[in-house]
Structure 1
Amino acid sequence: MPHHALPWRRRLLFSAACVLLACAHAQAHADTWPAKPIKVVVNFPPGGAADQIARAVSQPLQEALKQPVVIENRAGANGNVGGEAVARAPADGYTLLMSSGGMVSVNPHLYSRMSFDPAKDLVPVAAAARVLVFLVIRPSLPPVNVREFISYAKTNPGKLSYGSPGNGSSPHLAGEMFKSQAGLFALHVPYRGAAPALQDLLAGQIDYAFDPGIGLQQVRAGKLRLLAVGSPHRSPLFPDVPTLDEAGLRGFDADTVFGFYAPAGTPPEVVAQLNAQINRALALPAVKERIASLGGEAVPGSPAEFQRRAAADSQRFGALIRDRKIVAD
């Protein structure tokens, strides 16, 4: 045998040994995971839909994994601040992100530059909830249905204002979709989260909003008037309230899917374990009720299904952002 073949074979054996060691290390990690607390970064402020869903799921997740699950709110830049923090975190299964689908499906269309690529730097772990948006107005306004509201807005051009959790947020996109399809003009007022927008709507500082479910208690209390659902389907919570599609805005769909992500490179076995445990949590009556109280619905499924939904949303919202010339703050 030629002596020069030996180094080549040794290199091959060495490479194979390295691959086997890496696989063994990953498997050992998956077998011992979780060995310490898990942090869930919520990239929106406390009190919003993402925060409430994360807290509803974290309790049963903590019990199943037998480790503390700690929530950390890192809001800013329409979810990018928290998203980047998780994208840069070690890919060891101990840092997760709970986000609206918008950070993955919308922000790349909204920001000319992002410090990370959500599609490459994060991996989908599990969808959690399909979150609807509800068209709510301050009750001192005269309209009692969508048709009257559109007519009222058209006869008062530029006089009405609507609030959202920020430029490019799903309630903002719903607001622009509404203006586009209804052919009306109203002033957009961006806030730092859904909760402060709701407070100003209740105080009469703004006239209407597409609420992501946190204002439904105020609807029941008569402090807000619910006109329609910005979803292809009616909400089981308000079966008598029409969708905007039914009210004449054909094909109106502003739903988004909220869910959990991990840093790219997280061991697939860990992602699979997390997916299974989150899906189990979503099947629990208490968790389903909590999500339903926001007007949403639990959507258990595989990471691949979650990724497909995000890709479809990216196409739909990307077209709207280009058409309406929406830009980030």
Structure 2
Amino acid sequence: MSAAVHFEKVGPGIYLLRVPFSSTWSGVYLVRRGERAYLLDSAASAEGVDNCLVPALAELGLTPSTVTALLHTHTHGDHVGGHYRLRELGLRRCVSYAGSVAKLRDPLRYNKLIRAAFPAHSSPPAAVLLGIEADVVMQDGESLDGLRLLHCPGHDSDSVCYLDEAGGTLLTGDSLQGNGTKSQGCALYMDLPGYVRSIERLQNEKIERVVMGHPYLPWEEPVVEGAAQVRTFLADNLAIVAENGRRVAAWYGEGVRDLPELARRLITSRGNQLPEYLFLTMYTVREHLRAMGVSY
């Protein structure tokens, strides 16, 4: 059983639970509106729900059945892996971005599809990843109890952020990758142009703090506090993307054509540890090659 984890207050009415995941953690957000409570993301598994999320909710006088609604930032397994279990425990309402509905219905299918692009360099798919039906569907720009959905593709096509308009807190999930996590290797963006546009869009929003979904490098701590610091944070994300592109272009210009080798070079040049599987970084490198007009 995992060591006890607790919801920590990270903004006005906003809490973060760091659920252990692999060698790092995956964040679950809680937004409180008086008697109403909203969960965003559900960690990676039923075990994470039973051992971490349910006890942490109980400390705040909540149960899955008293949560007003469950939302998610995207449909990767480490963010929706607990949805089915929460439904079993009495969750009443699931809210989904329109672009996530089909993936949420069958997340294991998508989990396998992501790995199909680079099968020799991908981890095995999840052993269990059960889906659920959305009860409420939201579109880009719509709000739910003061939480505005911002479609931020890049990390994946259905990645979204939620902006708490009253307090200016932006809940990003994996939408802003920085330099990735220590175990990940580097930032994962499956749509480079979309990722850049998403960051630029966020630069035009009034944001007082950012709360990330993992300990992204170089910050490691998930909270960026203050409007000026947020502006710097967003600019740093763009700078990391630009530097990744320069490095990939330089190695390609030197004659390096092997996609796994380019991925290894990008990871090690960033000072990160090489993961057992390279498929995530290979997506990122492929996007930079495509931006150069190279087809892979």
- TM-score, with length taken from structure 1: 0.25
Q: Which structure ranks higher in relative contact order (CA pairs < 8 Å, sequence separation ≥ 6)? A: 1
Q: Which has the higher helix share?
A: 1
Larger Rg: 1
Q: Give the TM-score, by structure 2 length.
A: 0.27
